[in-house]
Amino acid sequence: MSLYRVNITKGTYALVKSPVGDGARGINAMGYNVGDNFLYGALGTGTNTNLIRIAASGDSKILASPNVTFSLNSGDVDENSQYWATVSGNQWIQVDLKPRSATFGADGSDRDGEPDIRAVRLGVLRTCNGSTGLRTWTGFTIFGNIAGNNQWGAVYASDDGFLFGSENKGGEIWRFPLPVKGTAAVKISNGAPASSNDGARCIKAANV
């Protein structure tokens, strides 16, 4: 797995480090933790999964296993430094990533919580909220077949009512409005094509 820094409005990108992790397993379900300024993700698949912490330099540390039997493919870290990850919105885990917490890295998959993970999947903007414990998805906007294979591996949130998504095959970066901003997706730039990708950013960061 290689780590790139992407300017989501210009489509420019620069290699930060390769490989990241153990050089053998892929990384998915990434999120940015505002509590300690690290990226976190799922290294590996199924029972061969570890959490991984990644610094801005690309240096990484492999952490404990989240004790899952399924392969995590979507994730994020909320404002309370809780890592939420799922396999296609069906099975979920919650991991405490609060710095200096007595339960740091502990799997809380049996706890109720309120993940707020947004995704663009097959041209549909959906949001997931787990306050009921059911973690059901709600569809907002159907954008249709937009670009490439319509596979959006990396989706980035901003605090101005938009999401940015990078389509795997073509590398195109598009801006998707939340409902209050309308229904028109707009192509922003041409990024880096990839067989698969994932991404994370601080929601308060400038769109770079």
Q: What is the predicted pLDDT for the residue at 152?
A: 86
Length of the chain: 208
C-alpha pair distances (Å), 97 with each of 41, 51, 106, 133, 170: 12, 11, 8, 21, 34
Task: Report, as an integer, the average pLDDT of 97-108.
Answer: 84
The SS3 assignment for 181 reads: helix
Closest CA to 85 of 124, 132, 57, 117: 117
Q: What is the predicted pLDDT for the residue at 24?
A: 92
Q: What is the predicted pLDDT for the residue at 51?
A: 95
* Dist CA 152 CA 148 (whole Å): 10
Q: What is the predicted pLDDT for the residue at 116?
A: 47
Task: Report, as an integer, the average pLDDT of 201-206.
Answer: 78
Q: What is the predicted pLDDT for the residue at 130?
A: 52
Place of tokens 């885990």: 93
Q: Which residue has the higher pLDDT, 94 or 106?
A: 94
Q: Is the pTM above the cut of 0.75? A: yes
> Do the Cβ atoms of 104 and 121 come closer than 8 Å?
no
- Band (16; pLDDT cuts 50, 70, 90): very high
The SS3 assignment for 117 reads: strand
* Dist CA 107 CA 154 (whole Å): 24
Task: Report, as an integer, the average pLDDT of 68-85.
Answer: 90
> What does pLDDT average to over the chain?
83
The SS3 assignment for 33 reads: strand
Q: Does domain 3-190 have CATH number 3.90.1150.10?
A: no
Q: What is the predicted pLDDT for the residue at 124?
A: 56
Give the chain's radius of gyration (CA, Å). 16
Convert the pLDDT of each residue in 30-76 to its tens digit: 999 999 999 999 999 999 999 999 999 999 999 999 989 999 988 88
Q: What is the predicted pLDDT for the residue at 137?
A: 67
DSSP code, position 133: S
Q: What is the predicted pLDDT for the residue at 98?
A: 93
Residue 129 has a CB neighbour count (10 Å cut-off) of 15
* Dist CA 20 CA 74 (whole Å): 19
Which pair of tokens denotes residue 99? 């710095």
- Cα 125 to its chain centre, rounded Å, is 15
Q: What share of the chain in percent tops pLDDT 90?
A: 35
| Residue 159 pLDDT exceeds 90 | no
> Do the Cβ atoms of 33 and 25 come closer than 8 Å?
no
Q: What is the predicted pLDDT for the residue at 207?
A: 61
The structural domains of the chain, with segments of one domain joined by +, span 3-190
Q: Which residue has the higher pLDDT, 144 or 89?
A: 144
* Dist CA 29 CA 72 (whole Å): 6
